[in-house]
Each structure stands twice: as structure tokens, then as C-alpha cells.
């Protein structure tokens, strides 16, 4: 019994000892895995660093970054420490690299404005100019808070417009897809059936059959032609003449022209008011407003205003002679100049046009829904009626009485 007990104890002790072979295997695999993970991480980091210079930061993310940076600076934290905190908490890996590089530049003695200028796609002209104004005045946190409010207002209005346009675009896209399916796959079945009748078909039915036959045999060429036309249009719009024609046509568009006009006026007034209130010189303000407007009419007006102001004139003089700006805006700007409160009047005008734009979006949404329903009913219903018309006249068509 003692021998058996001793033997069992020896067996148990041997089973509890680590296996040298398995330990060696694990130790041999672990460095490979860790090396692969490290090389993969380095490759991703290099990819993010390569994208950083050309990375265009969405305005919503820039608004959040500006708001958080202003809050941290208001709490008394140093700028480098604020950027380090924002770098750690951002979920965008490319933007994290951008913040890191900006922080390193500042740590090496560069100013914040010069550091963000290295990434012009991520930080727009308005942000850079506001940072310069904040550094000059020594009140960077307050000015960043103002520009954050401006970005948030722009993002809010943009989201409302996009959400209003999503529904009609989706419905029109589905309608186009449905009509193409009917023309390419369904109508040929009816055409083969009607061909056995040996009689002349009604004009709407014959038109749809001919259209279906054309699409079926020329769909690739038609799609290529549409793509080529779209590409050429984009190239033409990129030219100064094409851009001017596009902006003029957009403002004169029957349904969306008024909305586009109000949004551009709101952006002009709010940008101007934000910059002037932050202490940016008026000529520099007009340059930034012109670049941020993305509208030829605003750019022309800013150039004219800058020329007029440099000669001792006032902004309201140019607005009064420019048909792009409504009379209400001209009178309010003139009143602001008389009272020395141009930025306050511009802010009120921007608020007014924001409300007007939101009301226009709501009315367009309520108006577009019945229009789309009627459109779908006419198109789809017309196709169905045209294809069933020979069946309604089946006796006359089949007998060749006409």
C-alpha cells in the first residue's frame, strides 16, 4: 500500500510539471505573433500619417474639436495638454495623427495658427483666421467658442437640408430602378405575347415596346453616355465660367433656388459677424467670407465691398447696388453701421435667414411628398395601363378588325 501511494504521488507530481516541449512551442510562437502585430500597427500608422496631409475633416468633427478645445482652454489647461487630451479621446485615427503633429509643432516653439496651417484640408480658412485673431488678442478660448457656435449652426442647418432631401432622392431613385426593371424585363414578355396577335397595337403600347427594345439593346451605351455627360459637366463646372453658370442657375431654380439663396445669405452674414466680432480686420474678413461662401455672387460682392471700403466707403453702399442682396438686408446693415453694431445686425440677419431656410425646408418636404406620389402614380400607372390596353381591346386586336 505504501508503495502504491508513493507511486501515485510520483505520477501526480510528474503530471503537474510543465511540459518543456509545449512551453518551448508557445515561447516560439509568441515573438512571431507580437512581431506581426507590431509591424501591422506600424503599417497602419504610416498609412494614417500619409493621409493626414490631404485629409478633409468633416465640419461636424471640426465643430466638436473646436468646442472641446475651447472648453479645456477655459478651464485653464495649457494648449499642449489640451491637444494631448483631445488626441487620446478622438476616434478618428487620421485626425488623431493630425492633432499629434500639431501638438509636436507647438511643443517645438511654433504658434497654434502656424501649426494648423500645415493641414489646410482639415482646418479651414475660417478656423485658421480665428485662431490667429485669438492669439493676437490673447483670448483664444472665447474666440474658439464663437467659431464652434458658428460651425454647429452650419452643421445643424446642413443636416436639416440633407434629411429633407433624402426622402425624395430615395423615392426618385427607386422609381427609376422600378421603371427600368419594367422596361427591360417585364415589357418584353408582353411584347412577345402581343406579337402573336398579328394586329396593330395601340400607340402607347407600341411606344413602350419600342422603348423597351431600345433600352435592352443599348443599355450599356446609354449608361456610358450618361456617365460621360456627367463627367464632362463636372469638368465644365470646375472652370470659372462653368461655376458661374452653375451658381446662377441654382439661385434661379424654381423649387430649390430660394432655399439656396437664403442659405448663402445666412452663411455670408454669420461668417462676417463672427470674424468682425473676434477682431479680424475687415479686408481679411472679406477674404475669408468670400472663400467660405462657395458662391460666385458672394465672391463678386466681397471683392466689390473690399475695393469700396478701402476707398473709405461703407458695406451698405455696395449691398444697396447689388441685386443679390434683398432690401431688408441692406437696410439692417445700414442701421448697424449708423449705430456701430454691424456684427450684431449681421447676426440677426443670419438668424432670420436660418429660420426662413428651415421653414422653406419644411414646406418643401410637405410639398414634395404629394408631388412624388402623383409622379409615381402617373409613371407606373401609365406603364401598366399602356401594357394592358391591348388586352382590354383583345377582341379587336386579335381579330384584326381595325
Calculate the CA dihedral of residues 47, 52, 56, 62 and round it to 10 degrees. Answer: 120
Is residue 276 within 8 A of residue 346, CB to CB? The reply is yes
Examine residue 26 and state whether it is found in any structural domain, yes or no: no
> Can you give the pLDDT at residue 199?
66
Q: Do 183 and 119 lie in a common domain?
A: no
Examine residue 145 and state whether it is found in any structural domain, yes or no: no
Find all residues with CB under 8 Å of 298, minimum gap 6, and list them. Answer: 264, 268, 289, 290, 324
Q: Do 88 and 216 lie in a common domain?
A: no
Q: Do 63 and 190 lie in a common domain?
A: no
Q: Do 256 and 178 lie in a common domain?
A: yes
Examine residue 93 and state whether it is found in any structural domain, yes or no: yes
Q: Do 116 and 161 lie in a common domain?
A: no
C-alpha cell of residue 281: 480686420
Examine residue 169 and state whether it is found in any structural domain, yes or no: yes
Q: Do 95 and 165 lie in a common domain?
A: no
How large is the average pLDDT for residues 20-33?
A: 49
Measured between alpha carbons, how far is 272 from 301 in angstroms, rounded to an integer?
Answer: 13
> Can you give the pLDDT at residue 31?
62
Q: Do 326 and 389 lie in a common domain?
A: yes
The pLDDT-based confidence of 172 (bands split at 50, 70, 90) is confident
Q: Do 359 and 249 lie in a common domain?
A: yes
How large is the average pLDDT for residues 40-58?
A: 79
C-alpha cell of residue 57: 475633416
> Can you give the pLDDT at residue 170?
84
24: pLDDT strictly greater than 80: no
C-alpha cell of residue 359: 421653414
Where among 123, 145, 164 does a domain terminate?
123
Examine residue 338 and state whether it is found in any structural domain, yes or no: yes
Measured between alpha carbons, how far is 156 from 334 in angstroms, rounded to an integer?
Answer: 29
Domain hosting 65: range is 59-123
Instruction: Give me the percent of the chain exceeding a pLDDT of 70.
Output: 87
Per-residue pLDDT reduced to its tens digit, 215-242: 888 888 888 998 999 999 999 988 989 8
347: pLDDT strictly greater than 80: yes
Q: Do 287 and 330 lie in a common domain?
A: yes
Q: Do 174 and 214 lie in a common domain?
A: yes
19: pLDDT strictly greater than 70: no
The pLDDT-based confidence of 8 (bands split at 50, 70, 90) is very low
> Can you give the pLDDT at residue 34?
64
Find all residues with CB under 8 Å of 138, minimum gap 6, and list them. Answer: none
Examine residue 147 and state whether it is found in any structural domain, yes or no: no
DSSP string, 304-365: HHHHHHHTT--HHHHHHH-TTS-HHHHHHHHHHHHHT-HHHHHHHHHHHHHHHHHHHHHHHH
Examine residue 28 and state whether it is found in any structural domain, yes or no: no
Examine residue 283 and state whether it is found in any structural domain, yes or no: yes
DSSP H stretches of helix in 199-340: 203-238, 240-251, 257-277, 282-293, 296-310, 315-321, 327-339
Q: Do 213 and 97 lie in a common domain?
A: no
Where among 123, 141, 167 does a domain terminate?
123
C-alpha cell of residue 163: 434629411
Instruction: Give me the percent of the chain exceeding a pLDDT of 90.
Output: 15
Burial label, 326 (beta-carbon count in 10 A; 0-12, 13-18, 19+): middle
- C-alpha closest to that of 357 among 156, 153, 157, 154: 157
Overall number of domains in the chain: 2
C-alpha cell of residue 112: 497654434
Q: Do 207 and 256 lie in a common domain?
A: yes
Query: 293-298 — which CB contacts under 8 Å span 24+ positions?
Result: 293/264, 293/267, 293/268, 295/247, 295/264, 296/243, 296/244, 296/247, 296/248, 297/247, 297/248, 297/251, 297/264, 297/324, 298/264, 298/268, 298/324
> Can you give the pLDDT at residue 1?
38
The pLDDT-based confidence of 18 (bands split at 50, 70, 90) is very low
Where among 79, 104, 123 does a domain terminate?
123
- C-alpha closest to that of 97 among 54, 33, 68: 54
- C-alpha closest to that of 63 among 129, 155, 157, 139: 155
Measured between alpha carbons, how far is 151 from 70 in angstroms, rounded to an integer?
Answer: 13
Instruction: Among 10-24, 70-84, 169-183, name the most confident range.
Output: 70-84
- C-alpha closest to that of 259 among 173, 157, 347: 157
Measured between alpha carbons, how far is 181 from 183 in angstroms, rounded to an integer?
Answer: 6
How large is the average pLDDT for residues 131-151?
A: 85
271: pLDDT strictly greater than 90: no
What CATH number corresponds to the domain at position 79? 1.20.81.30
Find all residues with CB under 8 Å of 386, minimum gap 6, and list them. Answer: 202, 204, 205, 207, 208
Any idea which of 36-40, 84-88, 369-373 has the lowest mean pLDDT?
A: 36-40
Amino acid at each position: 500500500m505504501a508503495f502504491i501511494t508513493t507511486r501515485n504521488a510520483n505520477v501526480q507530481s510528474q503530471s503537474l510539471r510543465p511540459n518543456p516541449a509545449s512551453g518551448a512551442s508557445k515561447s516560439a510562437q509568441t515573438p512571431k505573433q507580437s512581431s506581426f502585430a507590431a509591424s501591422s500597427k506600424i503599417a497602419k500608422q504610416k498609412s494614417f500619417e500619409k493621409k493626414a496631409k490631404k485629409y478633409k475633416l468633416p465640419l461636424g468633427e471640426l465643430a466638436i474639436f473646436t468646442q472641446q478645445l475651447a472648453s479645456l482652454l477655459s478651464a485653464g489647461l495649457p494648449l499642449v495638454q489640451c491637444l494631448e487630451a483631445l488626441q487620446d479621446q478622438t476616434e478618428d485615427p487620421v485626425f488623431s495623427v493630425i492633432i499629434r503633429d500639431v501638438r509636436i509643432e507647438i511643443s517645438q516653439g511654433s504658434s497654434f495658427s502656424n501649426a494648423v496651417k500645415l493641414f489646410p484640408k482639415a482646418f479651414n480658412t475660417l478656423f485658421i483666421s480665428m485662431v490667429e485673431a485669438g492669439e493676437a488678442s490673447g483670448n483664444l478660448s472665447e474666440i474658439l467658442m464663437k467659431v464652434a457656435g458658428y460651425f454647429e449652426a452650419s452643421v445643424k442647418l446642413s443636416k436639416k437640408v440633407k434629411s429633407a432631401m433624402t426622402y425624395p432622392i430615395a423615392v426618385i431613385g427607386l422609381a427609376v430602378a422600378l421603371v427600368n426593371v419594367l422596361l427591360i424585363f417585364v415589357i418584353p414578355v408582353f411584347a412577345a405575347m402581343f406579337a402573336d396577335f398579328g394586329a396593330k397595337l395601340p400607340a402607347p403600347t407600341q411606344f413602350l415596346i419600342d422603348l423597351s427594345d431600345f433600352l435592352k439593346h443599348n443599355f450599356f451605351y446609354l449608361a456610358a453616355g450618361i456617365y460621360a455627360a456627367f463627367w464632362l459637366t463636372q469638368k465644365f463646372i470646375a472652370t470659372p465660367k462653368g461655376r458661374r453658370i452653375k451658381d446662377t442657375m441654382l439661385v434661379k431654380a424654381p423649387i430649390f433656388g430660394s432655399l439656396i439663396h437664403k442659405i448663402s445669405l445666412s452663411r455670408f452674414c454669420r461668417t462676417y459677424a463672427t470674424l468682425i466680432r473676434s477682431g479680424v480686420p475687415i479686408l481679411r474678413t472679406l477674404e475669408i467670407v468670400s472663400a467660405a461662401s462657395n458662391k460666385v455672387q458672394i465672391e463678386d460682392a466681397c471683392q466689390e465691398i473690399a475695393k469700396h471700403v478701402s476707398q473709405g466707403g461703407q458695406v451698405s453702399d455696395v449691398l444697396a447696388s447689388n441685386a443679390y442682396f434683398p432690401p431688408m438686408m441692406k437696410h439692417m446693415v445700414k442701421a448697424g453701421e449708423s449705430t456701430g453694431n454691424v456684427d450684431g445686425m449681421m447676426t440677426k440677419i443670419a438668424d432670420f435667414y436660418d429660420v426662413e431656410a428651415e421653414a422653406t425646408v419644411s414646406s418643401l418636404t410637405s410639398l414634395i411628398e404629394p408631388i412624388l406620389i402623383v409622379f409615381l402614380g402617373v409613371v407606373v400607372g401609365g406603364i401598366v395601363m399602356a401594357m394592358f390596353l391591348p388586352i382590354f381591346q383583345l377582341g379587336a386586336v386579335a381579330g384584326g378588325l381595325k
